[in-house]
Structure 1
């Protein structure tokens, strides 16, 4: 009888230990799975820069009207680079909102919006600008050299890089998501109110 009691206690201990192990293992797998998902999501965005980084500025922006500028020249202003292309359906969807909610709303508040057209010839860029009925400038990016300073060469367009007056990246978007776009507009608005 005593042996049976000892055996039952021993079995109970083993059973509880196994249950505890299984619960811990399950939580660990769930946590890793969630972590992997968030890392995959960030990796899928394709950026090689991050919020807080100093924006690369060793390039010249040749605009569709033939004028030139650079991030170095624009230092002291808030700059939004919109990476785009005429063939990009999502870009076309987003551009009217960029025109209305950022360019028209903030161009008189030291905000510069430049669309950087990925690897298309001038004629295509000019037609794209007309077709989209936008007033903010488009810059040429032959060979996607400017794009590759911000994102992986194989990553897609429809992305915005918000740069503050000191040249630091303050916000990044990918594709067109209404909630993320609203956050971008809010980030632009916040930057216009910062002391400089």
Structure 2
């Protein structure tokens, strides 16, 4: 009986891992409307789904303790923000569960100039992800607020695919 329970537990665990691998920790999918967005940038500007309409938007979930985030951020600054900031485009760094002072130091250390907000309780992050999902994520929204690209971690090929998606969307 114990052996049968262990086998059942093993397969249940494997199925759960396979499902998370397939979703990459997201509970949203490409083609869906973004969940409700309501956040205030560190400069005091408030944004909602409605205020972001008409712009291609990249939501970058990050944290100061995340080494992969730190690896990706200079690329986001130079290859995404600097390239598209003068178009109908917005890149928002969304720091996960850290205080303002720490986030300000993080932004200064990383030398990024794109706007930031702080997801103090993680609810914005959790509106896109499965429980206990890891950070380092980029979510690209089209001008109507539909999800058109989801990334996880930093991998150059996928990062370049994201840039191609942004470029194509801005040309529409």
Same fold (TM over 0.5): yes
Please name the residue that 2:94 is paired with.
116
Higher Cα radius of gyration: 1
Distance 1:39 1:153, change over 3 A: closer
TM-score (norm 2): 0.86
Q: Distance in 2 between matches of 1:178 and 1:38?
A: 24
Matched, 1:49 2:31: no
Give the number of the structure whose residues are more often helix, by fraction. Answer: 1
The 3-state SS of whatever aligns with 1:42 is helix
Q: Distance in 1 between matches of 2:41 and 2:30?
A: 26
SS of 1:143's equivalent? coil
Q: 1:188 aligns with which of 159, 162, 166?
A: 166
In the other structure, the counterpart of 1:129 is 107
Check conservation: 1:159, 1:174, Cα contact below 8 A. Answer: yes
In 2, Cα distance between equivalents of 1:166 and 1:67:
20
Cα gap change, 1:147/1:37 in structure 2, threshold over 3 Å: closer, same or farther? closer
Q: How far, CA to CA, are the matches of 2:100 and 2:162 in structure 1? A: 29
Q: Which runs of 5+ in 1 are unaligned?
A: 1-35
Tell me the distance in 2 between the aligned counterparts of 1:82 and 1:190. Answer: 19
- Of 76, 79, 90, the residue aligned with 1:98 is 76
By how many angstroms is 1:71 displaced? 2.5
The offset of 1:64, in angstroms, is: 1.9
Cα drift, residue 63 of structure 1: 1.4
Name stretches of at least 5 consecutive residues in structure 2 with no aligned partner: 1-15
* Residues 47-91 of structure 1: per-residue CA shift (max 9 Å, x gap): 00000000012x321212233222321111110000000100000
How far did 1:162 drift?
Answer: 0.2
Give, in whole Å, the separation in 2 of the partners of 1:75 and 1:40: 30
Q: How many angstroms apart in 1 are the aligned matches of 2:131 and 2:17?
A: 23
> How does 1:34-113 map onto structure 2 within 5 Å?
39=19, 41-43=21-23, 45-57=24-36, 59-113=37-91
- Counterpart Cα distance in 2 of 1:123 and 1:182: 32
User: Which whole-Å CA distance do the structure 2 matches of 1:149 and 1:72 have between them?
Assistant: 17
Q: Number of residue pairs matched? A: 158
